[in-house]
Each structure stands twice: as structure tokens, then as C-alpha cells.
Amino acid sequence: MKFLRNQIDKLKPTFSEGGKLSFLHSTFDAFETFLFVPNHTTKNGAHIRDGIDLKRTMFTVIVAMLPVLLFGLWNVGHQQSLALTGTDGSLFNNFMIGLIQTLPIIIVSYGVGLGIEMAFAQFRGHPVNEGFLVTGMLIPLCMPPDVPLWMVGLATAFSVVIGKEVFGGTGMNLLNPALTARMFLYIGYPTSMSGDAVWTYLPEGSKTVDGYSGATNLGELAAATAEGKSWSDDILSASIMDSFWGNIQGSIGETSVVACLIGAFILIASGIGSWKIMLSTLLGGLFMGWIFNISGATGAYMDMPAYYHLIIGGFMFGAVFMATDPVSAAQTESGKWIYGFLIGLLTVLIRVFNPGYPEGIMMAILLMNVFAPLIDYYVVQSNINKRLKRVNA
Amino acid sequence: MGKSVKIRRGLDISLEGKPSTHIHTLSSPTTFAVKPTNFKGLVPKLKVKQGDEVKAGDCLFSDKKNDKICFTSPVSGEVIEIVRGNRRAIIEVKILADSQISYKTFDTTNFASKSPDDIKAILLESGLWPFIVQRPFGTLADPTITPKSIHVSGFDSSPLAPDLGVSLRGQELFIEKGFKILDALCEGNVHLNLNPKKDNTVFKNITNTTVNHFQGPHPSGLVGVQINKVDPINKGDVVWTIKPQHVAFIGKLFETGQLDLEQNIVLAGSEIKEPAYYTSRVGACIDNLLENNCSNDNVRVISGNVLTGDKISTSGYLGFYDNQVTVIPEGDEYELLGWLLPSYPRPTISSSLPISKFLKKKFKVNTNPHGEPRAYVVTGQYEKVMPMDIMPQQLIKAIMAKDLELMENLGIYEVIEEDMALCEFVCTSKINVQQVLSEGLQLMAEES
């Protein structure tokens, strides 16, 4: 430790003001404080401070995403193997295929994003904020496995610059940055982000086995709705248990409800993620599904049991990792209940009634991101009114 | 009859160096200081010069805005130094104490027949007036005002704080008398807020007050929290607060006619070899307390508690309002990957530091903030330690944006710095909440 510290102290003047590489000051600072908690002490106010900081907070979120990531790696290989041979490959093989396809996406996401963040931090004379450590992992997890790398880079750049830095950087953004990236690709390059062909990574020129279909649960449901089929026609090819465990096709990180639940457990147990938002999102989804069930209308979605909504598609992944982003979510405690509930409700509404895009959670979260300040406004206003009432009483 | 309130949201930070209940008496300190910086917003007008001889109770300086508010010498002796800081602002007025203290006498006989204005005049002249703090804003009380009510918190819930049942033992008579004086000063009630689980025998004979009961973790003992629960401050209200040990000073003055500021203080913290109660005096130099009693050189000496106190040097002076000195290690050391693998346990409310959270041991804290300042990211954190019906993060943001109307609407009149000290402690983004709030209060006070 002493040795490492001495090396850093030797390097420090080069990067400090007046040094040769002072234009990399923020970057150096980011790495230094990653390695060593600084020797600063409190100057005024409370002399002692809590052991938690933003680095630890963000790191905990990354730990919570690990089950999803590991499962996703395996599943990318698993799905390819099923598509090409009709049988499952070995565990190791699946992992390796997943790693070969996914690792470059992760590297591009982090490389582009952190590069831009550091440039902005240097330009503004700010320290590098840790927020992108989480965003940089969320972006690959919500991408289809087949996404071209240049798109990942472009979307990341868009989300960091337009989604975050123009608002003032970490803590100031209106929209969830990872979903902004996904939205950007979805609108700009819809053929690479939707349809039946993108959910399984297949090497170029390879041939799939007979009977292979690239459609996801949501794709099948949307098609069935368009054809006027009803739920009893056995629409879904994947069993509900498969959808629950996650060995189905979909974006890299979204398929496994189990892995998402492990992540939710880590976030809630560590107190980092808001259980209020997660729970209310699930309740909102169930509520809307139940409304459709009792509405008397017929159609593929109308008779599907409400809990299916929570299991298929990216609902769980969105509820656990995307909706809970504290910056873009509602910031008041009662506001969080409303915010989450409406996300769940809108997700199901969009799924059922929007013919163009089968998944609703991305739209629902981004929409509620926009409305979160309004929700907070009314919650704050109720506190204000209570105080005003006291004066008049 | 008063209210009984259970505080749920809050935090007791358990620290090493809890004082034993033994009261030590050391040789009297030789120098004393009165610090104008202890009083918020005060511009002092000096009344003595270097070399003057003063008695205990003689005026050293007064408030430039209200010349009647005197700040008097706690002992008799010679003014040896007037310490000035930036722009010649007075930092300390130092006094070399006589070995035998001689007192100025005040005419306090027959106080029962005196009018509130006479009582105020005595308090102002004797220098006891500044012990009364006025809300909103936590400033010196304005003697021309009659407050809605006066609140006294009968217990201190801050980390390592003195147990008033120990430190005030033997002062029952003075406290009783002091409360009678307070009763004459306000039109409404005097509230005495007690914790039924503590030793309240020193308050047993007090009449004419509303007694409220508070239980629960810190900040249940903060008078601001108590006011918010039983008698909240609305726009236009003025409430005064005073601490029980200062009520005893008032009682003593009216009993004896002399300004005797002797008090028992707590010397605590992990770096103190013998944490206990010590007999001292307002403004006393603490060097004799720390002599051979400090296990380390690299320490932070705090006049007050670790959440709200002032940093002083090892030969510094006890603050005007303080009855506690806390000594903890400085934290000026690098910690390899400390954010990931903390190398020693530290207090936290975050469950992401499970060992610190669940072993529930006593902590040896230092002054390292364990991270760097960041923009607000995490939400819902301040609310866990804020028992008042106030939205803490929204209030701080309103202050940062200098939005006066929103600050007022969100209840800035109800808080002073100490009420939000726990928010500052728990802040993930390491925002200096008390400093921000202080700027907001100052801004508000200037505008209103």
C-alpha cells in the first residue's frame, strides 16, 4: 500500500495545475480516488460523516446487476446453440459465446461513456461522477445481443451528452440515461432494435434449425393480437417457467426474472434501491392486467393472467434497475409510490394497445421520468399547504 | 398538561469514550475567552481595552445593533489580549483570571415584585441575556419582543452528551428560580421537555411550566424538534429557547446577585484517557483538561458535540453555549480502496456496510468524510433521520437555488443548523448541509 501511495504521490504533480498533463487532472483524480479514499477531513458542520459515499452506492448497484449479467452471458450462448443445433451447448461454451458477443458491447459502452464524462468533467473543472459506472453496465444489458457495436457507441454518446451532460451532469438529468440510449436506437434504427431477428446472436451466414423462430413472448402476443386470436389459442411458445427462469430470447439482461429478483434483493437489503418504487411498479402492472381481465373484452392480452405481465418481456428488469434510478425517479417518499404505480400501469397499457412496439416498460419509465417532477411538485405542495393551514388555524 | 411524543426517525451514533459519572475538580484554568464568533450575526462593539481590570460580570463588548445586550466577563482579572482575524474582526477577548474571583453585584432582591422590563435589564446587564436564543434563525433574542413561548429541552440526546441529571446535580434550587424568571418573560407557556427515561430529579420542583415528554433516538433532545412537535413556529411567530444549565445561571444570579458561570462539563471521546465530568466555567481554557489526558497528538478537539460543535485547538476555549468537549482522532490518512473495503468499522445508516451496521459496537470515529462531495443522487436518506414534518432535501435544494418563497413555504423558520446536523452526517453526496442551511437562514434574516 505504501509503495502504491508513493507512486501516486510521485505522479501527482504531473497532473496537477501547472504540470505537463494537467489537462488530464479530472481523470487522474478519478483513478486516484478510486484507489485511495482521500486524506481530507471535515472542515465545518458535522465533524464525523457516514461511511457511505457515492462510489460505494454505485458499486452496490453493479453488484446487484451481476446475476443478470452472468445469466445474460450464458443465455446469449444458450440461445445461439438452440437456434443453430436445436440442442443446448455446454455451460462453458454458452458462456464463451456470450462473452465473445457481449464483452465488446460492454467495453464500447464504458469506453465511450467514461471518455465523454471525463472530458466534460475536465472541461467544467468538476470531479468525475460515479453515475456512469451503473449506466455503462445498464446500456449493454438492455440491448439486443445482435446489436452492432457502432450503434452502442453512438447511443451511449447520445445519452451521455444529450441525456445527461446538457442538463448539468450526474444528478441533474431528467431522463434515465440508459433508457435514453435505448430509445435513441429504437427510434433511429428500429430494424436493429425490434422484430424477430435481433434477439438471438447468430454468426453471419449461419443456418438455423427447422422450426426455429426468433420471436419473443411479446412479439408473439403482438402478432396474435393483430390476427385476432384469443389467449386460449396457446399463443406463447415459451412456457411460463422458462420465462421466469429466463432461458428465452430477449435483450441481454432482461430475460431472467429470477436474476432480476436476486438483484432486487441486493438493492433492497443494502438500502440502495427503493423498494417502494419496485413494489408499486409491480402493483401497477398487476392492477392494469387485472382491469383487462375483468373488462370483458376478448383478445390475446385480455384473458392473459395479469401476473404474466410481470414475467414476460423486460418488466422486471425495468422495475428493478431502471425505474429505481434515484435521479430520474420521483424524489419524495409518497411520490415514489405514485411514480412506480403509474410505470406499471402504463407499461401494460402500452403493451396492450400500442401495435407498433410490443414492449412498454421503456416508454413507460421515460414518460414517468418526465412526469416525476410534477408528482414531486404536488407532494411538496401538500406539505406546504399543511404548513399554511397551521397559520390560518 | 403537556404532550407525550415518541420520536421514531433519528439516529443514535454510539461512540467510544462515553464519560463516567464521576465529577472531577481540577485546578482552575488561568485564562478565559469570550468569542464573538459564538453568536450568530453579532457585530461586537468593544468596551474594554488590553490591560483593563475587570470583575466577573463586567461588560467586555456589546451588540452594535442593540447596545443593551452585553457580553460580560466570566471571571475577574486582566484583559490580556484582543485577538483579531480577517478585516480586524474580533475573534476572542482573552482574560487572565485572578486566583480569587471578585464579582460585580447586581440588585436582584425582591425579584417577584420586579416588572418583566426590570428583569430583562438585569439579564442584559449581567450578560446572561445571550444565553436566550431566538427562533426563527437562531439569533440573539430581541429584548423588545415578548415571545409566543419559551422552550427548554431537559435532556441532551447528542453523541456523548452530558447527562443533565449528573451535570446539574445540586442546582435544583437555581433551576427552579430560573424557570420562575423565564415565566415572567413570555406571554404564553414555558415548555419544559423531558425524557421520562432519564433522571429528571433536578427538575422535580418546577411549577408554572408545561411539561412535555419526548422519547426516541437523537434528535429527540433537540429543542427545535420538540417545538415542531408541540408548538410549531409559523411565519411571524417568535419563540425563545434556552438550555437548562443556563436557566440555572439565571437562577443563581437572582439568588446571589452575582454572575457565577461555573458548570460541570463533559470531556469525552475516544482519545480521552479518562472521559468524565469536570468542573469548569463558561469560556474556560481547556488546556488543563487535556493535559496528560489525551492519548494522541493528531486529534480534533471540538467544543460541543461531534455533530454541531466548533473545532478548537488543544489550548482553545470552551464555547459560550457549550458544556461538552469532544476529542476524536483526525482522519487525515489515505485509505486504500476504503470505499469498497473499509479498513476499520465506522458508523453508518447504510445497510451496504453490513459489518458496521449490524455489529452495533461503539465506534472510534475520525474526521475523514469517507468520500468526496458530489451532486445529489440518492433520495429518501435525510428523511430517515429527520423527525420534523419538514422535507429536508427539498428545503436544502430551495436554499441552494436561493428561492426565498419556497424556503419559507418549506419551513425554514422552524429549523436551525443543529436540527439538520444528522442529515449532514448521513449524506451520501457529502454535502455540507449545515453550512448551506446557515447561508439560507442568513439570507432569510436579511430579507425579512
3-state helix/strand/coil string of A102-149: HHHHHHHHHHHHHHHHHHHHHHHCCCCCCHHHHHHHHHHHCCCCCCCH
Q: How far away is chain A from the Cα of B48, in angstroms, using its nearest Cα?
A: 31
- For residues B243 and B152, the answer to whether their CB atoms sit within 8 Å is yes
Listed residue (B258, B310, B290, B285) closest to B95, CA to CA: B285
Listed residue (B357, B299, B361) closest to A47, CA to CA: B299
Cell of B443: 439570507
Q: Is B407 exposed, middle or buried (0-12, 13-18, 19+ CB in 10 A)?
A: buried
Average pLDDT, whole number, for chain A? 89
Q: Is residue B374 part of a domain?
A: no
> Taking CB atoms and an 8 Å limit, are A171 and B331 in contact across chains?
no
C-alpha distances out from residue B153 to B221, B222, B246, B285, B324, Å: 6, 7, 11, 27, 16
Q: Is B134 exposed, middle or buried (0-12, 13-18, 19+ CB in 10 A)?
A: middle
**Residue A356 pLDDT exceeds 80:** no
Please report the pLDDT score of residue B422 as a whole number: 95
State the count of interchain CB pairs (< 8 A) between A and B.
212
Cell of A176: 434515465
Least confident of A109-118, A317-326, A348-357, B19-28: A348-357
Amino acid, res. A235: I
> Taking CB atoms and an 8 Å limit, are A380 and B410 in contact across chains?
yes
> pLDDT tens digit string along A75-89?
999 998 888 888 888
> pLDDT tens digit string along B204-242?
888 889 999 999 999 999 999 999 999 899 988 999 999
- For residues A51 and B353, the answer to whether their CB atoms sit within 8 Å is yes
pLDDT in tens, chain B (448 residues): 688 999 999 999 989 999 999 999 988 889 999 999 999 989 999 999 999 999 999 999 999 999 999 999 999 999 999 999 998 999 999 999 998 999 999 988 877 778 888 999 999 999 999 999 999 999 999 999 899 999 999 999 999 999 999 999 999 999 999 999 998 888 788 999 999 999 999 998 888 899 999 999 999 999 999 999 998 999 889 999 999 999 999 999 999 999 999 999 999 999 999 999 999 999 999 999 998 888 888 999 999 999 999 999 999 999 999 999 999 999 888 888 888 888 888 888 888 887 666 666 788 999 999 988 889 998 889 999 999 999 999 999 999 999 999 999 999 999 999 999 999 999 999 999 999 999 999 999 988 7
> Taking CB atoms and an 8 Å limit, are A332 and B333 in contact across chains?
no
Mutant choice from A29, A49, A384 vs B, greatest count of B C-beta within 10 A: A49
Beta bridge partners of B46: B61
- For residues A197 and A182, the answer to whether their CB atoms sit within 8 Å is no
Cell of B349: 445508516
Please report the pLDDT score of residue B1 as a whole number: 67
Mutant choice from A36, A52, A61, A135 vs B, greatest count of B C-beta within 10 A: A52
> Taking CB atoms and an 8 Å limit, are A37 and B335 in contact across chains?
yes
The arithmetic mean of pLDDT across residues A343-372, rounded, is: 89
User: Do B132 and B185 sit in the same domain of this protein?
Assistant: yes
> Which among A45, A48, A271 is the nearest to B352, CB-wise?
A271
Name the E strands within B154-273.
190-194, 210-215, 239-241, 262-268
Q: Using 50, 70 and 90 to split pLDDT, how confident is the model at A282?
A: very high
B303 to chain A: closest CA residue: A47
> Which among A37, A38, A46 is the nearest to B307, CB-wise?
A46
Q: Is B376 helix (H, G, I), strand (E, B) or coil?
A: coil
Decide which of B256, B280, B298 is a domain's last residue: B256
Q: Using 50, 70 and 90 to split pLDDT, how confident is the model at A130?
A: confident
Mutant choice from A50, A57, A277, A336 vs B, greatest count of B C-beta within 10 A: A50
User: Cell 486504500 sits at which residue?
Assistant: B336
Q: How far away is chain B from the Cα of A236, in angstroms, using its nearest Cα?
A: 40
Cell of A334: 409518497
User: Do B32 and B152 sit in the same domain of this protein?
Assistant: yes
User: Do B153 and B210 sit in the same domain of this protein?
Assistant: yes
User: Do B245 and B325 sit in the same domain of this protein?
Assistant: no
> What one-character DSSP code corresponds to residue A208?
P
User: Do B82 and B206 sit in the same domain of this protein?
Assistant: yes
Q: Tell me which chain B residues have a C-beta less than 8 angstroms from the C-beta of A168.
A: 375
Name the E strands within B141-234.
149-153, 190-194, 210-215
> In Å, how far from its chain's centre is CA B87?
27
Amino acid, res. A70: L
Q: Within 10 Å of residue A168's Cβ, how many Cβ atoms?
A: 12
Q: Tell me which chain A residues have a C-beta less than 8 angstroms from the C-beta of B432.
A: 43-45
Decide which of B256, B274, B294 is a domain's last residue: B256
Q: Please report which residue ranges of B62-195 form alpha helices under DSSP H.
A: 116-126, 164-167, 172-185
> Which among A44, A51, A54 is the nearest to B435, CB-wise?
A44
Q: Tell me which chain A residues have a C-beta less than 8 angstroms from the C-beta of B379.
A: 274, 326, 329, 331-332
User: Do B311 and B408 sit in the same domain of this protein?
Assistant: no
Total of domains in chain B: 3
Q: Is residue B377 part of a domain?
A: no
Q: Tell me which chain B residues have a C-beta less than 8 angstroms from the C-beta of A1.
A: 336
C-alpha radius of gyration, chain A, whole number: 23
Determine what percent of chain A is predicted with pLDDT higher than 70: 99
- In angstroms, rounded to a whole number, what is the distance separating the alpha carbons of residues B193 and B4? 9
User: Do B300 and B189 sit in the same domain of this protein?
Assistant: no
Q: How far away is chain B from the Cα of A384, in angstroms, using its nearest Cα?
A: 5
Q: Tell me which chain A residues have a C-beta less than 8 angstroms from the C-beta of B302.
A: 47
Residues 339-368 of B with CB under 8 A from A: 339-340, 342, 346-353, 356, 365-368
Please report the pLDDT score of residue B418 as a whole number: 94
Q: How far away is chain B from the Cα of A369, in angstroms, using its nearest Cα?
A: 15
Q: How far away is chain B from the Cα of A104, in angstroms, using its nearest Cα?
A: 26
> pLDDT tens digit string along A33-78?
888 888 888 887 899 999 899 999 999 999 999 999 999 999 999 9
Please report the pLDDT score of residue A301 as a whole number: 84
The arithmetic mean of pLDDT across residues A349-375, rounded, is: 89
User: Do B192 and B237 sit in the same domain of this protein?
Assistant: yes
Q: Is residue B373 part of a domain?
A: no
Domain interval for residue B300? 264-359
Could you tell me the sign of the dihedral formed by the alpha carbons of A45, A46, A47, A52, in that order?
negative
Q: What angle do CA B3, B9, B12 make, to 5 degrees?
A: 105
- For residues B394 and A384, the answer to whether their CB atoms sit within 8 Å is no
Q: How far away is chain B from the Cα of A350, in angstroms, using its nearest Cα?
A: 29
Listed residue (A38, A376, A319, A381) closest to B376, CA to CA: A376
Q: Within 10 Å of residue B69's Cβ, how many Cβ atoms?
A: 24
Q: Tell me which chain B residues have a C-beta less than 8 angstroms from the C-beta of A57.
A: 350, 352, 377-378, 428
Q: How far away is chain B from the Cα of A143, in angstroms, using its nearest Cα?
A: 25
B434 to chain A: closest CA residue: A45
Q: Is B88 helix (H, G, I), strand (E, B) or coil?
A: helix
Please report the pLDDT score of residue A88 as a whole number: 82
Decide which of B228, B256, B284 is a domain's last residue: B256
Please report the pLDDT score of residue A129 as a whole number: 85
User: Do B178 and B310 sit in the same domain of this protein?
Assistant: no
Please report the pLDDT score of residue B360 as a whole number: 65
- Could you give the ipTM of this predicted complex? 0.91
> What one-character DSSP code corresponds to residue B195?
-
Q: Tell me which chain B residues have a C-beta less than 8 angstroms from the C-beta of A172.
A: 375
User: Do B196 and B342 sit in the same domain of this protein?
Assistant: no
- In angstroms, rounded to a whole number, what is the distance separating the alpha carbons of residues B434 and A226? 60
* Phi, psi torsion values for B260, nearest 5 degrees: -110, 105
> What one-character DSSP code corresponds to residue B26?
P
Q: Tell me which chain A residues have a C-beta less than 8 angstroms from the C-beta of B306.
A: 46-48
Q: Is B359 exposed, middle or buried (0-12, 13-18, 19+ CB in 10 A)?
A: exposed
> Taking CB atoms and an 8 Å limit, are A387 and B380 in contact across chains?
no
Q: Is residue B375 part of a domain?
A: no
- In angstroms, rounded to a whole number, what is the distance separating the alpha carbons of residues A140 and B211? 61
Please report the pLDDT score of residue A235 as a whole number: 80
> pLDDT tens digit string along B106-137?
988 877 778 888 999 999 999 999 999 999 99
User: Do B225 and B291 sit in the same domain of this protein?
Assistant: no
Q: Is B270 helix (H, G, I), strand (E, B) or coil?
A: coil
Domain ranges of chain A: 54-193, 274-393
- In angstroms, rounded to a whole number, what is the distance separating the alpha carbons of residues B386 and B381? 9
> pLDDT tens digit string along A161-175?
999 999 988 888 999
The arithmetic mean of pLDDT across residues A357-379, rounded, is: 92
B337 touches A: beta carbon within 8 Å: yes
Q: Tell me which chain B residues have a C-beta less than 8 angstroms from the C-beta of A55.
A: 339-340, 371
Q: Tell me which chain B residues have a C-beta less than 8 angstroms from the C-beta of A336.
A: 380
Q: How far away is chain B from the Cα of A264, in angstroms, using its nearest Cα?
A: 14
Residues 279-308 of B with CB under 8 A from A: 300, 302, 306-308
Cell of A93: 461454451
Strand B335-336 and strand B310-312: the pairing is unpaired
The arithmetic mean of pLDDT across residues A101-128, rounded, is: 91
> Taking CB atoms and an 8 Å limit, are B339 and A55 in contact across chains?
yes
User: Do B94 and B208 sit in the same domain of this protein?
Assistant: yes
- In angstroms, rounded to a whole number, what is the distance separating the alpha carbons of residues A156 and B77? 72
Q: Is residue B366 part of a domain?
A: no
